[in-house]
């Protein structure tokens, strides 16, 4: 399996622009997670889905952030409008409820820089 795939790997944008991050989970996994990692705040869970349905979005910082999962093999995280404080590494992860312990598998991340 190719693992969790994220694109783009790096994104540089100007404040006020829309940013869309993409994720393809591991085939057969029914959970998908979006995280944000910064030096100041560490690793934060933003939102997660089970069977394409959002379960908990309490970590989404504000209305500028939105996430969708239109099917089992694709999810997007959108920031509109972007701000410099959104600069971070965004990770997508997936897991399978059929596995023991629900271990998560992470993608390589998207490094977002908002200038």
Residues that bind another protein (CB under 8 A): 4, 31, 33, 42-43, 45, 48, 50, 55-56, 91, 93, 95, 97, 100-109
φ, ψ at 98 (rounded to 5°): -80, -15
Task: Tell me the closest approach of the beta carbon of residue 30 to another protein, in angstroms.
Answer: 8
Least spacing, CB of residue 69 vs another protein, in Å? 14
Nearer to another protein (CB atom), residue 30 or residue 81? 30
> Kind of pairing, strands 31-38 and 88-95?
antiparallel
At 100, is the secondary structure helix, strand, or coil? helix
CB of 15 to another protein, least distance (A): 25
| Least Cβ distance, residue 1 to another protein (angstroms) | 14
> Contact, 30 vs 48, CB < 8 A?
no
Query: Among residues 63 and 100, whose Cβ is nearest to another protein?
Result: 100
Q: Kind of pairing, strands 110-114 and 10-13? A: parallel
Nearer to another protein, 81 or 108 (CB): 108
CB 84 within 8 A of CB 115: yes
């Amino acid at each position: 399996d190719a693992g969790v795939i994220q694109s783009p790997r790096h994104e540089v944008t100007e404040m006020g622009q829309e940013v869309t991050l993409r994720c393809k989970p591991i085939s057969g996994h029914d959970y998908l997670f979006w995280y944000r990692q910064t030096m100041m705040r560490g690793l934060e869970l933003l939102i997660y889905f089970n069977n394409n349905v959002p379960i908990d979005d309490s970590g989404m910082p504000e209305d500028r952030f939105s996430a969708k999962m239109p099917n089992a093999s694709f999810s997007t995280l959108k920031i509109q409008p972007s701000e410099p404080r959104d600069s971070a590494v965004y990770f997508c992860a997936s897991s399978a409820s059929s596995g023991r312990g629900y271990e998560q598998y992470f993608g390589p991340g998207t490094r977002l820089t908002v200038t």
